Structure 1
């Protein structure tokens, strides 16, 4: 109930203030485990991504945010769970895999942090590992800004990636890097194809 209330409020914000556009939301499977991989340009990216979908979406958020009482309450109600970005956080990975096992949607920003320039940065391999280990479909997405009042913000979803060739093999740092690079290339393509349309 609270999730739907927050989503409704953010939808009003994005519709009235940022004139948002949503493209390709039909590419997100209506059921089953899904990892949505998106670029990251603003702190509003998680609620933008979550508000664009009908299915609830979970997010990893840096654990420092959960030490702020009111903010912690809000982001937990909007599906976030903590991750220690300074180390390989096995607890956060386990939590993410639990959500995927339950057939939920996980939102991940493979860059790991916001882009200072708005350009697409390099992706970390954690998202690829979680998606493969969690047997989830991977949907690339792109946020196209800027976040300025009464300027259009666009969120674009692409078709799920076919990762069949990687699911049945032993995962190595090289294979995870290949999957990550493919995800990032798809995000880059979405940005380029939808930037000025």
Structure 2
């Protein structure tokens, strides 16, 4: 078993009894090929919860500062995380993300860029649209419906892949593409809340 597989099993064993998450729409997830997985962001537990509920391994961007923490910095790359400098355009992180997709893997993003303070869906940043337009990834929306309270169920909903070919064909902006992705996430939240 890989370290990723071991970490996934260990985190699941700890979180599942506490948050009793219900996973909906796992069948919507493409079985192969590059995927851009875009989820809302309501808690620090979102990355591990998405990582253990998605049917395929997920690669996440993590803020660069985490890679400077002694043990954590060495562990993060082994569990499919790579650094991003926040608050600026990080070309290296963008290249890494595109490479992950091109190699047929799943890139997980939280388009809002930070946790929601009130649990409501915020505005998405252009990065999600950038990855969607610059790759041939299937774009899967994901809604995390909380709040995270011990022994209360949360829902993780995977929607059908979003058809963004028309946006690619007419060279739409990254902002417009991100808005479309965020609308799909909002639709899932409204449908399953």
Would you say the 8 A contact 2:42–2:117 is kept in 1? yes
Deviation at 1:67, TM superposition (A): 0.6
Deviation at 1:70, TM superposition (A): 1.5
User: In 2, distance between residues paired with 1:50 and 1:17?
Assistant: 17
Deviation at 1:176, TM superposition (A): 2.1
> What do you get for the CA RMSD once the two structures are aligned?
1.1
Describe the superposition over 1:136-173 as per-residue Cα deviations: whole angstroms up to 9, x where unpaired: 110000111111111111110100001111122334xx
User: In 1, distance between residues paired with 2:15 and 2:101?
Assistant: 28
Matching of residues 27-46 of structure 1 within 5 Å: 27-46=28-47
SS in 1 for 2:55: coil
Aligned residues: 192
User: In 2, distance between residues paired with 1:91 and 1:54?
Assistant: 27
User: In 2, distance between residues paired with 1:95 and 1:118?
Assistant: 29
Describe the superposition over 1:94-135 as per-residue Cα deviations: whole angstroms up to 9, x where unpaired: 000111110000000000000111110000111111122121
Would you say the 8 A contact 2:129–2:176 is kept in 1? no
Q: Which consecutive residues of structure 1, in runs of 5 or more, have no partner in the other structure? A: none
Q: TM-score, normalised by structure 1?
A: 0.94
Q: TM-score, normalised by structure 2?
A: 0.96
Deviation at 1:69, TM superposition (A): 1.5
Q: Aligned residue for 1:109?
A: 110
User: In 1, distance between residues paired with 2:24 and 2:74?
Assistant: 30
